[in-house]
Amino acid sequence: MARTASRNIGQSIPRLEAREKVTGRAEYVHHLRLPGMLYGKIFRSTVPHARIKSVDVSAAQALEGVYRVVTIDDIREAIPHPYYGPAFHDQPILADGKVRFAGEPVAVVLAADPHIAQEAVGLISAEYEELPAVFDEVEAMSSDVLVHDVLKPAATFPDLKHLAGRTGTNVALDYHLLRGDPEAGFAAADHVFEHTYRSQQVMHIPMEPFVSVADAADGRLTLHTASQSPSFVRIEIARLLGWPENRVRVKVPYLGGGFGGKLYIKLEALVTALSLVARRPVKVALTMEEQFFMVTRHPCTFTIKSGVNKDGTIVARTCKVVWNGGAYADIGPRVTQKAGFTSAGPYDIENVEIHSYAVYTNRPPCGALRGFGAPQTAWAYECHMDEIAEALGMDKVAFRRKNLLQNGRPQATGTIVQDAALEQALDQVADRLNWNEPLDRGDGRIRRGRGIAVGFKGITAPTTSVAIVNLYADGSCGLYISTVEMGQGSDTVMAQIAAEVLDMDAAAIKVVHPDTDVTPYDMGTLGSRSTFHMGTAVRLAAEDARKKIAELARELGLPEGSNLPLPELFRRKYGMQAGNIIGTASFIPKYEKPDAETGHSRNATPFWGVGASGAEVEVDTETGHYRITKLVNVADVGTALNPKLVQVQLSGAGIMQLGFTTTEEMVYRDGQLTNGSLADYKIPTLLDIPPEFINEHVDSEQKDGPFGGKGAGESTTIALSPAIGNALFDAVGVRLTDLPLTPEKIFRALCEANGTPLAGE
Amino acid sequence: MARTASRNIGQSIPRLEAREKVTGRAEYVHHLRLPGMLYGKIFRSTVPHARIKSVDVSAAQALEGVYRVVTIDDIREAIPHPYYGPAFHDQPILADGKVRFAGEPVAVVLAADPHIAQEAVGLISAEYEELPAVFDEVEAMSSDVLVHDVLKPAATFPDLKHLAGRTGTNVALDYHLLRGDPEAGFAAADHVFEHTYRSQQVMHIPMEPFVSVADAADGRLTLHTASQSPSFVRIEIARLLGWPENRVRVKVPYLGGGFGGKLYIKLEALVTALSLVARRPVKVALTMEEQFFMVTRHPCTFTIKSGVNKDGTIVARTCKVVWNGGAYADIGPRVTQKAGFTSAGPYDIENVEIHSYAVYTNRPPCGALRGFGAPQTAWAYECHMDEIAEALGMDKVAFRRKNLLQNGRPQATGTIVQDAALEQALDQVADRLNWNEPLDRGDGRIRRGRGIAVGFKGITAPTTSVAIVNLYADGSCGLYISTVEMGQGSDTVMAQIAAEVLDMDAAAIKVVHPDTDVTPYDMGTLGSRSTFHMGTAVRLAAEDARKKIAELARELGLPEGSNLPLPELFRRKYGMQAGNIIGTASFIPKYEKPDAETGHSRNATPFWGVGASGAEVEVDTETGHYRITKLVNVADVGTALNPKLVQVQLSGAGIMQLGFTTTEEMVYRDGQLTNGSLADYKIPTLLDIPPEFINEHVDSEQKDGPFGGKGAGESTTIALSPAIGNALFDAVGVRLTDLPLTPEKIFRALCEANGTPLAGE
């Protein structure tokens, strides 16, 4: 290919920020101290659902060194309607008369010394009138216990208007898709299978806990915040305050991981309110433990039913996906829609019906988490695929391959699939697992098995990205983008794209980090969109700069193609080292809103994220303990713009999903989180990484992506859990339907399968 | 006029930053503390000219809490050629083997505690081998004492190349202009007059002393600096370090006054070197006293000779202007050229010869100061005008009016004068003084008089300004410019210009302060150039944004002139509140470089600054004490874009020049400054402001300026000193030729005129 000659594209250029990070000089919000800054510490609800009778802050207020204790009544003086959220304006900045989950912020102590603030939090007490609570998403669908009295969708959120004012329900959003005639399909099918699978509640655990600093004064506000979506924060805070956007400045330095947790609006509403009330800069920095109360991943109950012919053709499928959104909607309704429309899996099925529900419960709120619901749906549809293949006696790879969506065929929405290397990814995993060779399955106590899975996801749409490329007089370059560098390497990839157009080295480009006063709009660093969306905006902005260079050369009377170095062009124009050439561009991909009734759309997603996984496991049948001896993830990332960065993205996402598959789970008793700390909630460590851990991309191209590229951050989260679940079944013949896949569950299932009573039962 | 209907132009819109400043929240570099930051305190030379034999830093280095003591040898490890300057690379970052003025930085102590650093400075000692020194500019022209061995003009500075390597002289630059045949003119004239006038050395005294913070690490540098020229600092520091521009970030928040002192490069080279050496952020903040050693205004000796006919027509004039540049050239050569070419005054003279010399001496360096030399030249030519009129028995206004340059006539360079309201300004001053009515001249001890003067200045050229206008999705606007808001009201005026084009309110525009990574290039906030230059760039950038709005409307299929509100346009384009419209423009005014031999240029200046002043004084003939009872300043500022801001600019410049005229003077004994503190060096206070103090602009228009506007910051500095000098002569009949005009000088002159011996003489 021509592009192999490029000095930027396809090159594993080291991260531009590597040195800064390794030397400890990279800037994070946690470092920031402003003159006169106060620290806010949060007093949280101890009950999951209650009316607040009273909050006694007098002892806290009396503690020496306490500046002020703030409740919702104080906040209302600064912000008359203190409710926020990306999809619904349902979340009060502090609890407002009611609490809806255990851990909800009720009051904040402000002090110059954070230790004093924390001490004062211990002096606050609240009296509650407890209310019945609901925690399970399926129960909540029909429960009399109502988490919210009335639905309050954001006016700015497209297509939720019809929900405004809806009462008497915990269902925040119901999404539906109908293709063909599933009932007729089931009736005509040789076999019908139905299963239900559950995903648990887990947390993002960014290594940098949530932190925001607000500095509000004189009708202006500056927010320094660990956010993935500075542009959104600006717009939502401006709405809360009734201010124009340009009086709200949102700055994001480096981010220590986000994974979807730091999207939309989190601590920003609270610190803004506190700064307005206190008339001082205010910082709120959560502890690792408090993060569990900020935002989590949706638990999900997914009932999937398929009609299948003898030859293995799937002819009909219905999906009922119920998403446990917790107490506040956050971006749950979007997850419901976006993961909803792909919940029948990457298969070519004539008759499909999907119902996907966002449901309120009395748990901590749930939002976006690496994959935006796709891992939960794939957990269901890919276990289901294996169960069907098993029942039909078909090879699991062959069964999938038979039904896989091919490029050029319509997905359930009607959108024609393009540039989705599903079969290639599946085949590559099978190859790395030596699928066609027999496996040593062991005998006696230790049994071995292998599993495979494939999945896909749509990308959030419509969204916009804007970029500015600024060429300085010595020919060096600044790139102004609101994409957040959160460890994924976006600075480097964006610089590579700009450098490729401008014919310079990526390392010579300075990426200016998000500052909404200066870097232009970007919808957010989320959902694998940056490389494709911002990457395209950067490419176009750099092309605009090139065009202006050519215009300048013409203006100076130079012959076409004279290729005078840029510094010399500037010197001729301005008589000295001076001036700029500024290229700008915005990008919004083609998109058609799905029909509200049928879910049909000819353009439901800008591109497809594709991942396939395979696992080999070794199970101790006496204890249920197991080892993953080999784990293979293969993703379609289009052209790998930076192969090394792609590799790190794929393995990082794989390790994260490994935790969600094997150990991680937020465990509750009566609505109280019992393991909300890293001592009890177990994330993977280096020792948990399988001895053979292969992460690869297929050789493909996203034709409308920048230099053929597309996102890589989520692909290997999609199919990993079912690959392991399927491998466990392959090893010991028991099917676990609920994540995580713990030794205890295997042990219990083995006992049940063997008819062995459990000790003590 | 149509523009009176504008809601922006011609309106006295309150300063956008007023609230921030009044509440004490405005950001200044002095507030900034970075983690791990060290403070640098300077050990200075105690002799005016010497070879350094040794510097003993051992005691300072041994003081507990001292991080490091730094000399030029340490700096050379980080910066091999540590010499800087805008016109000549003649200034070492710290003294390099030699000191050239008393007060020159020799070493710096770094410590986390600035008090410890200061204490350690007291423990440093140096041994010098003293050299003969030269302090007077005229002496230095022919002295054997050489301040520099060889001239080192900056390669980047236009038109100094021919000076490179010149040796054996203190003349850094000689500028010459010849028009007609002055010798023949003198020979034919009815009268020839020759006088010499002197201006003293004064200081800018910004209320915010010089301060810079450098944070250098990992091949990148961020400077937070109190600078009037962030773009220049970036380029010069990048040159010093051999780095590309985009690895040097220069940020300037609000500036507490500059007046030309904070131009080009000052502390920035030193803090950069210190941060590189220490590998820590470093702050250097001068005391008010230390400012006297940073940069000052040129003393000047000006011999002017005119041939005049009986009817008052000036037929020939020669000017020899010698500028005392101090030990380092700074921007002195530019002052020499720019104030040189107007030094024959705003008169229409057939035969003109000008010689203007920048001269090194062993004084603190001299640079730009509000007026860029024009006040020193006008002091000479306007006293001279009065002396001639007196000798001819002509009315002083009539004599000037007879000779004034009219629009359409060539100035000495050959540039045709346009939009210079010289006569209008002169007449308006005469009117406010009731020039045609007799004055009560008093008798006995108290005598009264009045004086008048007029002058003009050219504007630095060629220079470039670039602006970015960013429209956010709710229609609010950000303006990215590198113009420094230093109290002059530039934020407000630039917002007014953008708002006028965009049909919004100026107060709705957020001006983003200089940050070279994001705000585009501007040559500097200096020399009355911002309103005209950056104002035009802002106007063009806003027009570019308007054009893009119209394109967007067309793209959306809206009928021409549909005037859909901007937020709605964005919503239709992006489906939500998202996106940007970004307008950009650069501006470089027409300019023709003066011929090196003759000084001729058809376009020597982008526009003309014009000021006229008048004064009434009351002199106590027994003591020489005097009161200025009425002071009138009238300036041509084109259209007053914001009349209130213009008013404040005019009165501020007037008060500053009042100090330079009456009290301020840096006094030396053997090269040692004897009054380098505000206790001894007297700047004007409120009580020094004349009871009648009128500052006005004429009704005029700068046709190629933005909405008819041009700069207003320097005009009232030009003619004020000679107006007072002329009034004193008018009152008591003695002519003072040397500034400042102290009671002692008047008393001495009166004694001499009366033949009265001075007591004790």
Structure tokens at A654: 């794989």
Tell me the pairing of strands B211-217 and B191-199: unpaired
Backbone angles phi and psi of B545, in degrees to 5: -65, -40
- Give the Cβ contact number of residue B310 at 10 Å: 9
Is the pLDDT confidence value at B563 over 90?
Answer: no
From A478, A575, A579, residue closest to B466, measured CB to CB: A579
A473·B521 Cβ contact <8 A: yes
Q: In this structure, what is the dihedral angle of CA atoms B34, B36, B37, B39, given to the nearest 10 degrees?
A: 150
What residues pair up with A192 in beta bridges, in sequence order? A307
Cβ-in-10-Å burial (0-12, 13-18, 19+) of A732 comes to buried
Distance from CA of A451 to the nearest CA of B (A): 42
Q: How many CA atoms lie within 13 A of A394 on its CB side?
A: 20
Q: In sequence order, which residues have a C-beta less than 8 Å from that of residue A664 and are 6 or more positions away?
A: A200, A202, A203, A681, A682, A683, A740
Hey, how many other C-beta atoms are within 10 angstroms of the C-beta on B53? 10
Query: pLDDT per residue over A700-738, tens digit each?
Result: 999 999 999 999 999 999 999 999 999 999 999 999 999
How much is the mean pLDDT over chain B? 96
Contacts of A478 (CB under 8 A, 6+ apart): A469, A470, A472, A509, A510, A511, A512, B246, B517, B518
Measured CA to CA, the distance from residue B125 to residue B57 in angstroms comes to 7
Q: Which residue has the higher pLDDT, A710 or A161?
A: A710
For A180: left if phi > 0, alpha if psi spans -120 to 50, otherwise beta; the answer is: left
Q: Which amino acid is at B599?
A: G
For residue A472, the distance in angstroms to the closest alpha carbon of chain B comes to 7
What number of CA atoms fall less than 13 Å from residue A403's CA on the CB side?
Answer: 32
Crossing angle of the two packed helices B720-732 and B374-392, in degrees rounded to 10: 30
Inter-chain touch B476–A246, beta carbons under 8 Å? yes
What Cα–Cα distance (Å) separates residue B154 from each residue in B333, B363, B372, B452? Answer: 11, 22, 20, 41
Question: Cβ of A473 and B235 within 8 Å?
Answer: yes
Beta strands, E only, B413-529: 446-457, 465-472, 477-480, 509-512
Whether the CB-CB separation of A665 and A202 falls below 8 Å is answered with: yes
pLDDT digit string, tens, across residues A15-58? 999 999 998 889 999 999 998 999 999 999 999 999 999 999 99
pLDDT tier at A759, thresholds 50, 70, 90: low
- Write the ipTM: 0.88
Burial of B142 (0-12, 13-18, 19+ CB in 10 A): exposed
Which residues on chain B are in Cβ contact (under 8 Å) with A519?
Answer: 518
CA nearest to A588 within chain B: B574
Asked if the Cβ–Cβ distance from A582 to B520 is below 8 Å, we say yes
Give the span between the Cα atoms of B735 and B83, in whole angstroms: 44
Question: CB-based contacts of A275: which residues, under 8 Å, 6+ apart?
Answer: A214, A215, A216, A217, A221, A281, A282
Q: What is the mean pLDDT of chain A?
A: 96
Quote the pLDDT of residue A155: 82
Which structural domains are found in chain A, ordered by start? Answer: 2-26+463-587 (3.30.365.10), 32-133+206-287 (3.90.1170.50), 375-458+606-754 (3.30.365.10)
pLDDT category, A2, cuts 50, 70, 90? very low
Within B581-708, residue ranges assigned H as helices are: 643-662
CA–CA gap between residue B574 and residue A231 (Å, rounded): 14
Looking at the complex, report in whole angstroms how far the Cα of residue A2 sits from the nearest Cα belonging to chain B: 30
- Yes or no: say if A316 and A303 are a contact pair by the CB < 8 Å rule: no
Q: Determine the distance in angstroms separating the CA of B603 from the nearest CA of chain A, rounded to an integer.
A: 15
The sign of the torsion formed by the CA atoms of B704, B705, B711, B716 equals positive
For A391, the 3-state DSSP assignment is: helix
When pLDDT is averaged across residues A523-546 and rounded to a whole number, the result is 97
Q: What's the confidence (pLDDT) of residue A159?
A: 77
Checking if the pLDDT of A560 tops 90, the result is no
List the beta bridge partners of residue A272.
none
Cα distance between the two ends of chain B: 65
A115 Cβ contact partners less than 8 Å away, ≥ 6 residues apart = none
Predicted local distance difference test score (pLDDT) of residue B628: 98
CA distance B363 to A199: 79
Is the CB of A31 less than 8 angstroms away from the CB of B35? Answer: yes
3-state secondary structure of A350: coil
CB distance A722 to A379 below 8 Å: yes
CA distance linking residue B231 with residue B239, whole number of Å: 12
For residue A761, pLDDT beyond 70: no
| Chain B interface mutation, best of A16, A235, A582, highest count of B Cβ atoms under 10 Å | A582
A609-620 and A626-636 beta bridge pairing:
antiparallel
pLDDT in tens, A186-233: 999 999 999 999 999 999 999 999 999 999 988 899 999 999 999 999
φ, ψ of residue A541 to 5 degrees: the values are -65, -40
- Position B643, amino acid: P
DSSP B292: G
- The nearest alpha carbon in chain B to A481 belongs to B518
Residue with the bigger pLDDT between B155 and B716: it is B716
In terms of DSSP bridges, do strands A581-587 and A609-620 run parallel, antiparallel, or are they unpaired?
unpaired
Q: What's the whole-number mean pLDDT along residues B266-284?
A: 97
Inter-chain touch B244–A508, beta carbons under 8 Å:
yes
Higher pLDDT, B178 or B575: B178
Residues whose CB is less than 8 angstroms from the CB of residue B176 and which lie 6 or more positions away in sequence, other chains included: B353, B354, B355, B356, B597, B598, B599
B462–A246 CB contact, under 8 Å: no
DSSP A638: B
What's at B723, amino acid-wise? A
- The CA-atom distances, in angstroms, between A438 and each of A40, A428, A735, B196, B476 are 60, 17, 22, 107, 66
Query: Which range (A267-271, B32-36, B300-304) has the least confidence?
Result: B32-36
Burial bucket for residue A524 (CB in 10 Å: 0-12, 13-18, 19+)? buried
Instruction: For residue B579, give the nearest of A23, A515, A521 by CB distance.
Output: A521
Helix, strand or coil for residue A257?
A: coil
**Alpha helical stretches, state H, B408-461:** 422-432
Distance from first CA to last CA of chain A, Å, rounded?
65
* Cβ neighbours, 10 Å, residue A27: 16
What gap in Å lies between CA B328 and CA B400, rounded to an integer? 38
Query: Sign of dihedral through CA atoms B476, B479, B480, B484?
Result: negative
Among candidates B455, B284, B471, B459, which has minimal Cα distance to B379?
Answer: B455
Which of B231, B475, B517 lies at the smallest CB-CB distance from A478? Answer: B517
* pTM given for the model: 0.93
**How many CB atoms lie under 10 A from the CB of residue A149?**
9
The whole-number pLDDT of residue A755 equals 87
Residues from chain A that touch B586, judged by Cβ atoms under 8 A, are 579-580
